[in-house]
Chains A and B, each alone.
Chain A
Amino acid sequence: MKLSFSPEDEAFREEVANWLQDNLTGEFEKLKYRGGPGDEHMFPDERKVWEQKLAEGGWTCVGWPKEYGGRGCSIEQQVIFFEEYARAGAPGRVGHIGEGLAGPTIIAFGTDEQKKKYLPGIVAGTQLWCQGYSEPSAGSDLANVKTKARFDEEQAKWFINGQKVWTSLAHESDYCFAIARTDPDSVAHKGLGFFLIAMDQPGIEVRPIEQITGTSEFNEVFFDDASCGADDIVGAPGDGWKVAMGLLGFERGVSTLGQQMQFQNELDEVVRQARSNGAARDPAIRQRIARAHAELKIMRYNSMRMLSGQSASDGALQKEALIYKLFWATWHRSLGELAMDVLGPECEILEGAPYALSRLQSMYLFVRSDTIYGGTNQIQRNIIAERGLGMPREPKGTAK
């Protein structure tokens, strides 16, 4: 075990920090600390320009192999990049779904044609992606998707019909990757396909969902004979679940370090508030702030374990990776509650009508989604017990 970085990596850190300092200025100044989770609706157009600025500097897709336009950074350098990015207060990435999810999936499972067609736009920061997984009847039970994909031999096209929900950034995106049923008589995770669908077409309607915050990052997406080409399916019809789940393996935790820097920014704000309003003298608040601080530190160490660990040969997540979502989501939710308790009765007062939330108020409300999306805390506990501890799987239900 060794914690320090090599001199080459430290030089890389300086390069990243300098570039951000030189470029996150002028028209981009107002984007600092904006556009993260819970704030995705802010400055979408400016953040699209910022995405292209990053691409010019070679700072998109830093972990991708060079042959696909990436920077080919080592794990250590990716860690450094995400840390410096968050430290500089650089804005939430509008391209993160393409860079972190769509792209790696296409690299791993896609054809050469798909790679040529889709990867350059992601690297250039010009084409944005959204993820079409959840449906009204497929939440925790993701395999229960009802959206159907039908291949029309004459037109040599796939036609998609159905509805997706909780689709982040759908209204800003150029493409959607979605799972849909290629075999209409199939159930559960069999008979699915993984599709790459252009958003700008008459068969797609995006409707924003107004959230608990009064803002809308999430959307409903309706497919009414939306189409994509015969070549726009990743893997074979029926392989959709395998491709979708393979995607989880790409998230080895590098970006979690950037997420933690955002958490650190929020905790710093809570500490500032506590020190200025006197809450820092309250013994109960002191205990909670110290706990939040300690657990955020450990969250970082846990990510370092995830990154350093050898991948299990069967591709299964290691123990420290299995518990990670449950840990950070629960921590973040507690931070929201702590923030309000530090503010006291002042926590109620808005910045203005009709519903202008402060940064901490917005965080407090938005973190309630953390323990729900991407596998609820309850689903996470099932996964940990079944995959991590080998306890019996939940029985299949019979309700219609």
Chain B
Amino acid sequence: MEFAFTQEQEMIRETAAAFLAEVSDSAAVRRAMTSEQGYESTLWERICGEMYWQAIHVPEAHGGMGLGYVELVAMMEQMGRYLLCSPFFATVCLAGNALRIAGSEAQQAQWLGQLCEGSLTATLAFNGGSSRWDAQAITATWRREGEGYVLDGDYRYVVDGHSADLLIVAARAQGSTGESGISLFLLPANTAGVSRQWLPTMDQTRKQAAVQLTGVHLNADAVMGEPGQSWNDLAKVIDLATIALAAEQVGGCQQLLDSTVAYTSERVQFNRTIASYQAVKHKAADMMLRTEVARSAIYYAACVAQEALEDGPLAGELREAASVAKSYCSDAYFAIAGDALQLFGGVGFTWEYDVHLYFKRAKSSEHLLGNGAYHRERIACALLDLGEVD
């Protein structure tokens, strides 16, 4: 047992932090977030060309760096800290994991190869507009036609769905319910019958889209895995992405804590820095507690995620680890963001200061892939053995 970063992992984290401090400062974030695409192509090209982040946990056989989920989580934490606007999460944590878990050898060779080259962005669409992020959220349908498939249906909350080059979509067999009949398909975004709209969001630092499939015809090689049998794979992909998102939340917590301590240590009222007031110190202490507890949760979840990718002894804990991490980190990030806004006082309410960017990001990350209550109910189901409750 060794529950601390190795020297190599520390180095990856520090390299990421140094790079992001330079390229993802407040001005850069604000430039990217006000565009429809949501990120600057030049920066993404640098990330892919110089840093090679998109390939971090892709096996070397497919052109990746062959590192693990702990390294991925360490980087996500830094991306969250610097509010990096990029297609990383959608491309690597959603689509990349889907390819790794559910893709055939041929699909992995083709698409993971392009992903690692940096020539491809991608995302995963499965939610038809539900606050649940499980099989019930899948409303789009597939049916066989000849050797191929025809897909129909709508998706919402698709991260970078309007800009991704490649879509991985989940659909259910017509007439199926629950976890049966689910299939995953790969399709280039410019496939006939696909329409996509950017959905402007309160949090401008991560872009969401709606996607409609209208009589989309796909060849037989577009399906991932056994048709109708893909729920378990998709559930695993969602859990893996959930852990990555929770790591991003922890980075946001840390940045808010640091900036709040710095601000309150400079701001003087009644001839004292406001950091000298116990009312302020105690709130800051609670912020630090939540940040460190959240960090313990994601480090463990990262180890479990790695075992899930390798079918290690703790692979069976993936679902619980994801829910433990996401429920705690979601609530922690939003609570800390609210406290930070309060402690910054009036300037925290302005557009000029960055607090509102984190405050908004905290709420959007909270609801993406399931909020605290959703994940606690998942835990309760397993613990209280009452089955899923509708």
Query: Which chain A residues have a beta carbon within 8 Å of chain B's beta carbons?
Result: 1-5, 9, 76, 79, 271, 274-275, 280-281, 283, 286-287, 289-291, 293-295, 297-298, 301-302, 304-305, 307-310, 319-320, 322-323, 326-327, 378, 380-382, 384-386, 388-392, 394
Contacts and interface: CB of A to CB of B under 8 A. Distances in A.
B31 interface: no
A295 to B, nearest CB: 7
Interface string B261-301: 10011000000010110101110111011001101110110
B383 A389 contact: no
A298 B293 contact: yes
A381 B285 contact: yes
B70 interface: yes
Contact of B276 (A5, A298, A319, A392): A392
Contacts of B376: 286-287, 290-291, 294
B108 interface: no
A126 B6 CA distance: 43
Interface residues of B, number: 52
A392 B271 CA distance: 14
A385 B281 contact: yes
**Which 10 A-B pairs rank lowest in CB-CB distance, beginning with the nearest?**
A385-B281, A290-B376, A381-B285, A384-B285, A290-B379, A392-B276, A304-B3, A286-B380, A308-B3, A301-B300
B385 A275 contact: yes
Interface stretch (B36-44, B223-231, B320-328): B320-328
B293 A1 contact: no
B61 to A, nearest CB: 23
Nearest to B6: A1
Nearest to A79: B1
A305 B3 contact: yes
Contacts of A281: 386
A326 B284 CA distance: 13
Contacts of A3: 1, 3, 300, 303-304, 307, 314
B384 A280 contact: yes
7 contacts: A4-B1, A286-B380, A287-B380, A301-B3, A320-B295, A327-B293, A392-B275
Contacts of B146: none
A282 B299 CA distance: 32
Contacts of B22: none
Interface centre among A9, A79, A281, A384 (most CB of B within 10 A): A384
Chain A's interface: helix, strand, loop or mixed, by majority?
helix
Interface in B337-390: 373, 376-377, 379-380, 383-386
Given A283-B377, A390-B261, 7 more contacts: A1-B2, A4-B1, A280-B384, A286-B376, A294-B323, A297-B300, A320-B296
A391 B263 CA distance: 11
A382 B288 CA distance: 12
B32 interface: no
B303 A382 contact: no
B324 A327 contact: no
B292 A320 contact: yes
A384 B296 contact: no
Contacts of B5: 1
B278 A394 contact: yes
B324 A1 contact: no
B324 A298 contact: yes
Given A287-B373, A323-B292, A389-B285, A1 B3 contact: yes
Contact of A392 (B273, B302, B328, B383): B273
B27 interface: no
B283 to A, nearest CB: 9
Interface centre among B9, B281, B286, B320 (most CB of A within 10 A): B281
A325 B21 CA distance: 33
Given A287-B376, A381-B286, A388-B285, A297 B324 contact: yes
A327 to B, nearest CB: 6
Interface centre among A290, A302, A327 (most CB of B within 10 A): A290
A305 B296 contact: yes
Interface centre among A5, A76, A287 (most CB of B within 10 A): A287
